[in-house]
Amino acid sequence: MKKKVLVAGFSTRHVARSAYNAGYEVFAVDNFCDNDLIEITKLCTSFEEIAEIPGIVDKLNEKENFDIIVSTSGAEDIITKKDICGTDPKIASFFLNKKNIQNFFESNNIPVPKIAEDGQYPVIIKPCCGAGGWKNKKAENISDENEWTKLWPGEPYIRQVPVEGIPCSVSCIADGSNARAVSFNEQFIRGGTGEKSYGFSGAVTPFNHPLEDEIIKTAETAAALSGCKGSVGIDFIAGDNKFWAIEINPRFQATMDIVELSYGINIFSAHVDACKGILPPVYEKKTEHYTARKVIFADRDITVKEDLGKLYQDIADIPQTGTSIEEGSAFLSVYGKGSTRESALESLDKTIRNIVRYISRW
């Protein structure tokens, strides 16, 4: 009989897919319950507010008696009657605050962008709480900063000195005191202006960079010192001859599926093993191929009129027919594969063009 897993969080498809591929019977508590999540789960339960998740989890567990419960983004620090398989909620809560992350990096001599002095510009404004880079803003002067504080009144934030380089991340597996890297990934930032300009919009793995070995070593050190268990990601900015740690993510990362596709591993299994004290082998750079993922954002208000999953193979997070999506909101995940970074991105762009042409009729 298959073991039963419950995956709970704001968006769970990538974790649920990994658990499904690992041979589990999967249940999900998810904000979207997209078509491709429904297809692989025995039950997908939606919610309106994050605060509802613990109660839903406990109610489902009373009925199903899950072998494993894991959490994803938005639910990293939830407390339920049955222990979560992963990072302790108190530790996760600590690393959900960017001021705490800043202090953690500084106290452990891990390179991190400096906190700007009062009156110093330009600065990168980051809300203390929040994920995915949303609400981050580059303030060139006090007027820009005042504009941000008016938009988000009362929101605590930090002011970092800007650094130049390529956004990237290291996916690690940790057991609470040791950690192993499993991939090195280049990240895509949404760009443009406004509150979403620094938002995560995709990634490609593997990432080739002259400082790779140093960044990998630093990520493993940070993950080990953090006390996190299971899947944990460390975000960086990689410059030409210097790098900076940006965040610790005490959860499964959005790069999870492309890491699995490129490196031929199962992150969910590695996560569960790490919570038992079993770490994966030492990181190797060898991959099966390059894999890219990009998030498609709606360029207008859209109502989904057909099941895209029946038409395209290289997409995920497929909304149900009839779903209304507001302009600027995430719509789909699109993938590309290739023997090189360039060919993977070409494959990605081809699929995006096909998708855009198709939904333009709606």
Question: Tell me, what's the pLDDT at 358?
Answer: 83
pTM of the model: 0.96
d(CA 92, CA 168): 21
Question: Tell me, what's the pLDDT at 204?
Answer: 98
Mean of per-residue pLDDT scores for the chain: 95
- Could you tell me the pLDDT band of residue 348, with boundaries at 50, 70 and 90? very high
The candidate with the shortest Cα–Cα distance to 130, out of 32, 196, 80, 226, is: 196
Which residues neighbour 265 within 8 Å (Cβ) at sequence distance 6 or greater?
Answer: 182, 259, 280
Task: For 124-138, write each residue's pLDDT tens digit.
Answer: 999 999 887 889 999
Residues in the chain: 362
One-letter amino acid at 9 equals G
- Give the mean pLDDT of 41-48: 97
Q: Domains in the chain and their CATH numbers?
A: 4-85 (3.40.50.20), 103-160 (3.30.1490), 290-362 (3.90.1170)
Task: For 283-324, write each residue's pLDDT tens digit.
Answer: 888 887 999 999 999 989 999 998 887 777 899 999 999 999
Q: Contact at 8 Å (CB) between 182 and 270?
A: yes
